[in-house]
Structure 1
Amino acid sequence: MIERSWRRSFTTGGGYDPTATPAYHPFSEPAGRFQDTAEIVLARWAESLADMRVALLVSDRSGRILARKVGDPSHARRLDKVSAAEGFEFSESALGTNGLGTAIEERSAVFVRGAEHVNDRLQTLACAGAPIHDPLSRRVIGSLALASPVGASHPAMLAIAKQAARDLQDALLNTAPLELQALLARFADGTARHRVLAIGRGGVLASTGALPMLSAERHVTLWDELQAHHWQGDVASVLLADRPSTARRIVNRAGESIYLVELAESEPAAAPEPTRLSRLAAHLDVLGRSSGCIAIHGPRDSGKTLLAQLWLRERDRHDPVVIGAPAFREPGAVATAVQALSTGTSVVVCSVESLTDVDFPVLQQLAGAADPVRSARVVFCVADDLTGVVVDFLGRQGPRLDLPALRDDPDRVIGLAVRLAQEYSVTLSPAVLQALSRWDWRGGASELRVLIAAMVVQRPGGTVLDVDLLPAEMRTRARQLRGIAASEYRAIDAALREADGNRSRAAEILGIGRTTLYRKLRAYGFDGQNTLIS
């Protein structure tokens, strides 16, 4: 384990400096549940270890130290000299092999003694560390370590670190409401035989039978439906994905709602619900069977190129070649595209609307090189304002898919955002997904891509991007609606007023299903106070 860690330390990111000092990351917000619970658990263990020259430390997933307990003043000064204190980052990528960072990377307990530390400044210490797992998701969310001078270390430190980490995990579970703890016990002992969901602001817990109902899009919809329900008590009959269900509302100590939803046993098993992106990909698959060329039409910056890339990457298991149409006026561009097609690599041509009738031979050459048998397709991404010979040729050459503007397709916004976040190995919180689905995206897919990249840069650590990283106006400002969307908004608003806020009655007035109405309520931001964003 130590050898693996050393190898990672010196081969990742172009090498490692053994004299590096840890970076300091200030706490930009009040302590959360993890940090508060860590302080309590460390205080208990510090009393038990008062006779040992040992410090207890807890870090988050990024390796940043959240809490430290040390009784011996001289040992505290020793730790201060190497910056082993709250706010400093002890990830393996930052400091090489060490008890906190390596336990996270290995997902296992580790004992690092003296010169086994890569960093020169840490070689006077012995550090036993163990990973901390989220009691619900089982993801590694941090680590706990015992640190002592090398000469005062003891083999029992590793066992103590592992037990203290388990105590912290148990304490995190005990901070959940009693009702939720009871539900978790049902999951753990296998008695949750029905399809059960526990839905909260931060995510969803599901029994095996309910898993097919879950997706990033569906979680946001479920939350909105439950928040919008007219609760007369803590138990209600609701429709979950158009299925009769029993829901129970739990309000935790912070005043936030958690919903437990159980489907009736007589209901047939839920089929997996396809996401908006998977439906579009399936449609493109059908279109691609009949032709080597496909045209994706839609408003400017509606995500046509991004959709084509995602579809081809998943279908072909490698990236397509993406070329802007104006580049075909430069020498060699057409040959590059034709060469890619000849090797079985698909080509995405964006900004086709910039071409004129003079460029018509280029399109003919590309279409002729497409080979659907070799999975080499040409996808033309076309803005709606294209006219003339080019658009006539595309209409004859192959089928087309029409996309609405991104602001009118909130489920596609969620799907694209999730996929973009995956490129950075991060996850978007449900609150972020809801805020993104309600934004009007005047800058289209480019605005979405830039936003995700900016959030990744701004994150304080960890792999979950939460709503505090969004611009303030995106968290609070209602969407500005135009055209058909504005008319539909006014019709829904009028129906809700006529029905005195009763969603079921409003759906009847509008002549649409309740699920459709809930989806539109989410898209237009009705009842902004009942959102995932707190």
Structure 2
Amino acid sequence: VYIEGSQHFNEQLADLVCAAAPVRSPGGKIVGSISLAAPVEVANPLLVTLTREVGRQIEDRLRSEARPEDLALAMSFMRFTNSGRPTVVMDQETLLANTPGLTYVSASSQVILWEMLIAHDWSTAGTARLELGDTGVQVVARRITDGNQVHFIVHFVEPSDVQTEARPKERSPTADPVVEGVLLVEGPRGSGRATAALALHGQRRANTPIETYIVRRGTQTPWTEIAAHLDAGTDVLLRRVEEMAGDDARRLNDVVAGSSPLPHCSP
């Protein structure tokens, strides 16, 4: 913010120029602000740059003094700060919630959620759909490991939303081995299609490696590289299929129809 002279709400500050910048915690929450002032006759927009730099130095100090676990939580949480999906990121000591996720957070629910996540068997898949006690609320949880540090990303799903939540749908079984190797996960963007696809892969082919590619319009799809992975027995997850260019769509149709030499593909 840059305010000069008479732009101030308080007339007593009319002789000053002021610049202010927010100070954010490692989790992205505004925890304060820094402001600088100078006589209006020496006003200079560089005051804003200087104020921002002071704010960044304070934020750097906050990060340097934070627990490594808190920094890992903050990095995960920043992806969901503005998400419309109720989401929390948590470990045993810290819980970060976006605005929609706040309604699901309490002292008791945090304990129940943590104990449920710790008790779950994560050896077969890194993603799981669980029910939160007897509330009827379902959660889609993902386990994140960084060395010996573990935290979880949790999305909440109300019972009334379960029917509309994106759910994986397999194509009808046929004698064609190519089609039998294809899984299509439908749903609107941001509904967790990739998470659902990875969960299915973990349940059915946990011992098979998987590579992920984004194939939306404007990106060049590395079909040769994808073919090499499939030939080597590695599964492939294709994201943003609905946004792919016409040529790529035709190539994908050939794969699904079985006219491509690729043995299987997971869009």
TM-score w.r.t. length of structure 1: 0.20
Higher strand proportion (structure 1 or 2)? 2
Higher helix proportion (structure 1 or 2)? 1
TM-score w.r.t. length of structure 2: 0.37
Q: Which has the larger radius of gyration?
A: 1
